Every structure is written in C-alpha cells, then in structure tokens.
Amino acid sequence: MIIDLRYHIATLVALFLMLGLGILIGTGLIGNDALLKQQEQMANRLEKQLEELRQENIRVRQLYEEVEAENRNLRTFAQEVLPYAVAGRLKGMRVAVVEVAGKAPSGMIGTLKTAGAVVEPVISLLDNYTTPTADLAVAQALGWPTDNQEEILSRLSKELGASLASGQNPGFIELLSSQGLIKVEGNYKGAVQAVVVVGGGNNERRVAEVDLPLIDTLVKNKVMVVGVEESSDSGTSIKAYQEHKISTVDNIDRPEGQIALVLALAGQPGQYGTKGKNRSLLPPYPVGGGT
C-alpha cells in the first residue's frame, strides 16, 4: 500500500506538537508530590512486569531446550529403528534407481539393501541429457528423426524405461553413457522388478519431457515405480507423478520416508510424506498383524 508523502509530514508534525505539549505540562508539574508518587508507582509496576517477562523468557528457553532434546532423541530413535522396520521386506527384489534430478539422499540405497533388495543399476541423468546437441547426436546415431528436440528427449526416456524393464537392450544404455548423457553403476543387463525415480526441483519441462515418459513406459511394462523427492523440495515432481498413478514419497531424506519407500515396494502403495492433503507418513498396519 502506498501512503501519500503529505500524510507522513502531517503525522510527524503532530507527533512533534504532542511531544512539545507533553514537555510543557511536565515542566509545569515539577514538584507536585502526587505526580511523583504516581510516577514511582508506575515505575514499580514496569519493573515488576519486566521481571515477569524475564522469568517467562527463562521458562520459554527451558521449554525450547527440552523440545529440542526430545526432537534429537526422536530423530535418533527413527534412524536406529529403521533397519528393524525394513529388514528382509524386499528380499531378492531387483530395484533400479534413476536419479533424474540429482543424487539420491544419503542412506536411501543402503536402506533398500538392508531390506534385501538387489539395487542395480543406479543411473544418474547428467546435464547433457537435456542438451539439444547431445540429444541430437544420439538421435543421429540411432537413425531417429532429428527435427523435434522435445520428441527426441521424450523418446530417449521411453527407450531408457523399456531397456530397464526388459534388460534386453544394454547397447542403448551403453550409448547414452558413452555420449555423456548418463552415469551407470551396477549391472544393467537384466530386467528389473521396480524402479525408484529420484525427482525434485521445480523444473516442469524436465518433469514433462523426461520423468513422465520414463515412468509411463515402466508402468506400461508392468514395472513397479515409486517417485521420491526430499522434504525440502517444492513438490512439483511429486504432484505430476501422482497424476500418473504411482506411489510417491516426498520426504525420502527422512528415516520415515525411507521406511515408506520400502513398504510401498513391498506391496503397500500410497502417497507418503508431509506435503499436500490426504497424505500419511506410513501405510496403516494390516488388520490382524502381519509383516
């Protein structure tokens, strides 16, 4: 809201006039015992209120320290209980990780391995993956049409998804790697049962042209897909993933998020995390028990 300069000037003049009037009145009342007594009472009240505020500040600080200590204990407990919650739940499942927007958070791959999963391959999409000249070079090497870069990028992601799902086209993954589009760790010459897509950021173009074609192809080939991002991310990726009917975890950097990921892969799909409505940290415990 813009306030007129004249309003500021008038306000300042009024304040100075009030201050001058107060000084005149105060000067005229010097020596008035009643006024001095009143001032003394007011000073005592202010001193008492100040002491109360000091004590309240001490209590608030103590409460803050207690809450912080409790939070540290809860974080430690969550980290320590993690292996107990996931151990053996994914025994023998072959799970690939595709990092479309940066590295997977610390501990995620370790959690999958603790759950018994065989985590391979881990594929990181490098900056060149969305560079037109690099995509064009790959398209030319494969004999694809080269007149539409968006279609090339989408097709690259579809082919990558198909290669992971079937395990029958390792040459395509090798080509992407040799052209500096991806980095590959682990065995990529076999079909996978599930893929964790590590998203994040707020790049809607990347989500539309890279993430979703990859996800749709994997789902079409009956591969389980879970889309994840860290709790500090904007939720742009997760919202788009949810529209494509896959499980999501929006706090994968937290122990509870990693437990939710394992449970989703183990057959309890859902939307897990802390962002948006109708979300939960974990799926409900099965009626009648179970693992």
Please give the pLDDT value at position 37.
77
Q: Which residues of the chain have pLDDT under 50?
A: 1-3
Assessment of whether the complete model's pTM goes beyond 0.95: no
pLDDT tens-digit series, residues 248-261: 999 999 999 999 99
* Both tokens assigned to 196: 């964790």
Cβ proximity of 248 and 236 under 8 Å:
no
Q: What are the chain's domains?
A: 87-272 (3.40.50.2300)
